[in-house]
Amino acid sequence: MQTRTKVLSFTALGLAAVVFGMILAGSLDFTRTASADSAAPTTAPAAASAPAHIASASLPSFADIADRAMPAVVSIRSTDIIRPDQNRRGIERFFGDTPFHPFLPDRRQGSGEPEEEQQQSGGTGFLIEADGFVLTNNHVIDGAEKVEVTVGETEIFKAKIVGRDPATDLALLKIEGDRPFPTLPLGDSDRIRVGEWVMAIGDPLQFEKTVTVGVVSGKGRAPRLSEATRSFENLIQTDAAINFGNSGGPLVNAAGEVIGINTAISRFAQNIGFAVPINVARRLIPQLKEGKVVRGYLGVSIGPIDADLQAAMGLPSRDGALVQSVEKGMPADKAGLRHEDVIVRVDQTPVRNNRDLIDYVSSKRPGTKVTLTFLRGGKEMTAVATLGTRAEEGETAEPEPAEDEHREKIGITVEELTPASRRSYSIGSEIEGVVLTHVKNVSAAADAGLREGDVIQEVNGRPVGTVVTFRAELKKAGDARFARFYVHRPGPRPANFVVAVRLKD
């Protein structure tokens, strides 16, 4: 009897364990692994309804990437002659003085008068060809009297500045050696994805061959580093730490390929750095080898199309580059373009935004003929322009957003141009229109960006030379939500632009 009781107890215990195990498995969402010859249950859900899972992937071997890349990364030292009336340049040109500036020695003559001195600054570069071509940033060597490149730990070579391009902040150097130099392969920056691993290599604060790792944080950034670069900024953003001295070094992907040239940091944030895409350098290297980069030029000022302009102009989408103004005598003017045209294609390349047009035109040499497809008054038209040469100081800067409105409707006071108002606002005698003498702080005009001193030359494409004609054209707008103003803004750098002003909500 006692033995039978024990057997029953063990049996009950076993059953309890099985039941508990089934409950536990269900609560933890454990699934059974089916064998190849097991019949599938008839109640199994369809494969399409199964939740998608992100495939797990192991981290790349950063040590292996560094081992392969490091031999081709070089240190650059440039020497400038600083005269008493010059500021120290340094590699931090874009972001002001280094915090160590107050502690640098000040060499003076015994009389206390400042004298010329040599200033050394540093940066990074990398070898792209075995015969000694080195790619770096223009601001690393800008103004340098002498440039030296250190390969490995001890080999120092005098470098020749072959070519440089301030607009993209790129420079090509050449060193001579008695053997082939190690090189880094160039990747494809157009194919990079936000979130993928990258490695920055350089000499931050003179700590040579420092490696930092992060991801691609963003693409197509335009942080407006300087007037020289603002028209061509299309940078990669990364959180791989970049510091002073990293400039010109490679940004490398997990395959060990260069996808960017480390260029700048934001001093207002932590780990926000920027790199020039390597494909930009690829296109320019042949011209850099020739000593100078020349770009095609249309002679237009362009702006983006926002939702208000789309509605005001009756555009099918916000794709395209809006022509704000056309320089007289320039290729676009000769081809027949005018303000308020919307360029939607150049040759066979779609123009989705300003960047597409700038990149395409600037990639062509002067004298190249391009076919421009544009919208005018709701109709698609084409014109052929022969590109001119873009001035080194840069294409006309894209205008800042502008604003407009009438006192009763849009919050402005307008007056006819007089000799007194021309003198007051520095408006040239050739400019016709009505001048804004007041813009309400809270108004549709202020929202659009208009300000006192702006001259409205056209309303909805029609010239306005007097207050009467200005009001008449506004009246013709009827129940329209927006009016288009063609505006001249006087100043040291006069600009013309198109703006959409809201007439009613």
**Beta strand 197-202 with 146-151: parallel, antiparallel or unpaired?**
unpaired
- What DSSP state is assigned to residue 307? H
Catalytic residue among 165, 169, 341, 356: 169
Residue 368 burial by Cβ neighbours in a 10 Å radius (0-12, 13-18, 19+): middle
Which of 290, 226, 302 minimizes the C-alpha distance to 264? 226
Which of 210, 191, 190, 211 minimizes the C-alpha distance to 199? 211
Residue 3 burial by Cβ neighbours in a 10 Å radius (0-12, 13-18, 19+): exposed
**Beta strand 300-303 with 296-297: parallel, antiparallel or unpaired?**
unpaired
Residue 292's CB is within 10 A of a number of other CB atoms, namely 10
Catalytic residue among 78, 247, 301, 325: 247
> What SS3 class is residue 299?
coil
Question: For this structure, is 247 an active site residue?
Answer: yes
Question: For this structure, is 58 an active site residue?
Answer: no
> What SS3 class is residue 195?
coil
Which of 134, 243, 207, 242 minimizes the C-alpha distance to 251? 242
> What SS3 class is residue 427?
coil
Tell me if 112 sits within 8 A of 150, measured CB to CB.
Answer: no
Catalytic residue among 75, 78, 121, 139: 139
**Which amino acid is located at 225 in the chain?**
L
Six-digit token pair at 324?
Answer: 């704000």
Question: For this structure, is 139 an active site residue?
Answer: yes
Active-site annotation, residues: 139, 169, 247
